[in-house]
Structure 1
Amino acid sequence: MTATSLQRPFTVVSILPRLLDTNGDAGNARVLAQRIRWSGHDARVVDVHSTADLPEHVDAVAIGSGTDAALVSARDGLRSLVEELRIWSNSGVPVLAVGTGWELLSWGIDLADGTVVEGLGLVAGHAVPRTTRATDDIMVASKYGRLVGFENHARDYVGAEASPLGRVLHGTGNGERESGPQIEGLTMGEVFCTHLHGPVLARNPTLADHLLGAAFTRHGLEYSRGPVAASVDETAQAARNLVAVRLGQPVE
């Protein structure tokens, strides 16, 4: 299949960006779309607030993080899209969920006051309260390279031990474990969940390119980052190295 045989733009869906963008994480959709353009293909971002906004074709999905005040509203918005989310996740459409967006895809969220916000049950595990909020740089060793970001969460995540995104080199991630290394995030097929803000894909283009590789493969295409992306990625690497030096970790 050739680069022109898709006959339409790649479509990246940003889910509930009015409610789930407190750390700029809705920007992950724009990162994916721009990297597609740099690879020589057309791309667009579609903001989806309800089923009425759904495009005919979806090639990648980004879900950001929100405030606890908006948890129920965001959960209800996601619940209206649960069948589409299930179809996407089961058919290999790459999905990235960050922070509370991830927690709402889980079995549920235990709040500090003892109440529970029921999740969509699309990924294993659930969120539980921390005694102190995790707010710090985080560095993670993963199969997609070393990932860096900023974490800002009041809950740990339990139940993702079998399929983490990576191992924590610095920071909190999913929380302390009784045995084994601290882990961060969750993966399930081409669904990726993480605490990393930044937006994570701008700071970690190797993860972005993995998601795009999955999106392209679904259409029989091979993804290759363009020369502009290669130049931009040097800046991202320099930024990661600055974090590494600050944290006493080796530079790349």
Structure 2
Amino acid sequence: MVSHNPVRIVVVYQSLLGIYGDRGNAMVLTQRLRRRGIDAELVMVEPGSPVPTDGAVYLLGGGEDLAQVAAVNAMRADGGIFHALEDGAVLFAVCAGYQIAGNTFTVGDHDEVIEGLGLVDATTRRGPVRAVGEVLSHWTRPDGLEVVLSGFENHGGYTTLGPAARPLARIELGVGNCGDGTEGAVQGQVVCTYPHGPNLVRNPALADWLLEKALGRTLGELPDEQLNEELRVLREQRITVARHSKNLAEDTRWLGARR
């Protein structure tokens, strides 16, 4: 898409889909643009106000059942996000945002099936156990380089992808989509993932890829070498902690089985 000046990063319905600090993802995107000397604007839009159609990246975060339904109904009635995607914008949908971006999802004790936005070929149903804990997955960038993504998942819905969507990454640790070894989804300009809290703080390479998809050009590394190194060290620490937790859990199960 043609970059606007400033580049607009749009958080959609923070009051409904923002219970896990997902606004932080928008702050990461905005700051990574500004540190490159690119003028960027963080836009917050709530139900009752029109969703702007001139954004570069739109973000949907986590929320509870009733909030999901309210958000879907409001976005469908507004229509702005559909027009923005048609114009080349990128949507980054996390957790509940991921579920409502799909074809259908379920809510409530009786698993009522709700029609989603239909932006991703995916369906979500209640899973056998709630997925809670650290997640590690392996994402292959467009240039072929494999990157380990880390995060924290907390979701009761299990998502199955249809043929039009492809997984974002392969699971090393955690449940991911539905325990099938995949995590997240990519379809056109829509990118979805389960880890939140916010996800992009841990995964700057993924943040830059979203921006590159939206702007239609390569950004390269941040000019701040010290910050890049600090982020690299933080990432390695989080990955090490997650793998240590996994090994500890496996050792505990082994010791229990020996008794």
The interval holding the TM-score normalised by the smaller chain is: 0.7 to 0.9
Who is 2:219 aligned against? 223
- Whole-angstrom distance in 2 between the partners of 1:86 and 1:56: 8
The one-letter amino acid paired with 1:215 is A
The one-letter amino acid paired with 1:150 is F
Who is 2:6 aligned against? 9
Q: 1:160 to 1:62 in 2, by over 3 A?
A: same
Checking the alignment, whether the CA contact within 8 Å between 1:48 and 1:54 is kept in structure 2 is yes
Checking the alignment, whether the CA contact within 8 Å between 2:135 and 2:242 is kept in structure 1 is no
Q: How many residues align?
A: 236
- Whole-angstrom distance in 1 between the partners of 2:53 and 2:243: 48
Q: Which segments of 5 or more consecutive residues in structure 1 lack a partner in the other structure?
A: none
Counterpart check, 1:166 vs 2:169? yes
The runs of at least 4 aligned residues of structure 1 exceeding 6 Å deviation read none
Which SS does the other structure have where 2:243 is aligned? Answer: coil
Who is 1:243 aligned against? 238
Which SS does the other structure have where 1:52 is aligned? Answer: coil
Checking the alignment, whether the CA contact within 8 Å between 2:136 and 2:150 is kept in structure 1 is yes
Q: CA RMSD in A?
A: 2.2
- Whole-angstrom distance in 2 between the partners of 1:247 and 1:175: 19
Q: Which segments of 5 or more consecutive residues in structure 2 lack a partner in the other structure?
A: 142-146, 245-259
Who is 2:213 aligned against? 214
Who is 1:45 aligned against? 42
- Whole-angstrom distance in 2 between the partners of 1:110 and 1:187: 21
Checking the alignment, whether the CA contact within 8 Å between 1:39 and 1:224 is kept in structure 2 is no
Deviates more, 1:95-104 or 1:112-121: 112-121
Checking the alignment, whether the CA contact within 8 Å between 1:47 and 1:53 is kept in structure 2 is no
TM-score (structure 2 length as normaliser) = 0.83
Counterpart check, 1:191 vs 2:190? yes
- Whole-angstrom distance in 1 between the partners of 2:240 and 2:24: 26
Checking the alignment, whether the CA contact within 8 Å between 2:53 and 2:83 is kept in structure 1 is no
Q: Report the alpha carbon displacement of residue 71 of structure 1 after superposing the two structures with TM.
A: 2.2
Q: Report the alpha carbon displacement of residue 27 of structure 1 after superposing the two structures with TM.
A: 1.6
TM-score (structure 1 length as normaliser) = 0.85
- Whole-angstrom distance in 2 between the partners of 1:37 and 1:160: 37
Who is 2:23 aligned against? 26
Q: Report the alpha carbon displacement of residue 85 of structure 1 after superposing the two structures with TM.
A: 2.3
Who is 2:250 aligned against? none
Checking the alignment, whether the CA contact within 8 Å between 2:137 and 2:173 is kept in structure 1 is yes
- Whole-angstrom distance in 2 between the partners of 1:76 and 1:152: 24
Q: Report the alpha carbon displacement of residue 207 of structure 1 after superposing the two structures with TM.
A: 0.6
Q: 1:232 to 1:66 in 2, by over 3 A?
A: farther
Equivalent in 95, 98, 101 of residue 94 of structure 2 = 98
Q: Report the alpha carbon displacement of residue 239 of structure 1 after superposing the two structures with TM.
A: 2.6
The one-letter amino acid paired with 1:103 is Q
Who is 1:110 aligned against? 106
